[in-house]
Amino acid sequence: MPINLLYHDVTLAGADDSSGFAGPSAARYKLTPDEFVRHLDAIAATISELPQNSPTQLGQSSDDWTITFDDGGVSAATTIADFLEQRNWRGWFFIATDFIDTPGFCSRAQIRELHRRGHVIGSHSCSHPERISNCSIEQLQDEWTRSCAVLADIVGEPITTASVPGGFYSTEVARTAAAAGIRWLFNSEPTTGTFLVDGCRILGRYNVYRGMSAADAGSLISNPWRRWRQSAFWSAKKAAKTVAAPLYKAVRQRLLQRAYAST
């Protein structure tokens, strides 16, 4: 029953675009340093002696947990890793490789250093497609194979972990990831269930966002009811996306613009 938390970036108030992708949609998932520290404190109080996962252990124990970070924003190297290491924790950092060495994203040297310090480096595709599940098989093969090759060259070992951009999972996404050598693929479905596709284990994650209280973040690990509530909301949102995708997207963008564009 692995419990995996999904974070993105940590940025100063008013500096949302300093790390990771720009814009209000991305800003929803960027915490301030103080907010992030409160989350870590609450998680630490919840997990007690519960050990973190290593890539070789994931999904094999009833007490698994991980803390993951998507996109590859520079705050992984400048902020997040230090806070994790103060607790002797390590993060799982998933990198969109087309953005390496660009403003707001980790450099090759920073990724190499994160790996040296014991953090897990994985793929988040190359280009971070808006909806990766709509890509052709050829595009999917390129996204996974090329991104894994870039990261393997940086860290000096094969890349076996990845996360799905935007959470847009499909069987084809998983199969092409498996063909690229990925053995642990995270999506964004809030669930503790796992399953295998062509030898690749598919794992869900519980989403954490700006404004979520520290107690709420900690309860995602300790409280099955809290996890069920997020799962139920996610399922309802997925249905809304399917039935009225263009309208859903337009309304969401407008709400996020109002909430985060001026922060």
What pLDDT is recorded for position 256?
44
Provide the β-strand partners of residue 163. Answer: 186
What pLDDT is recorded for position 51?
52
CB atoms within 10 A of CB 141: 17
Ranges under pLDDT 70 in the chain: 1, 48-63, 239-263
What pLDDT is recorded for position 235?
87
Task: State the burial class of residue 174 (Cβ atoms within 10 Å of its Cβ: 0-12, 13-18, 19+).
Answer: buried
- pLDDT per position as a tens digit, 178-216: 999 999 999 999 999 999 999 999 999 999 999 999 999
Residue with tokens 């997040």: 80
Distance CA 41, CA 138 (A): 44
What pLDDT is recorded for position 60?
47
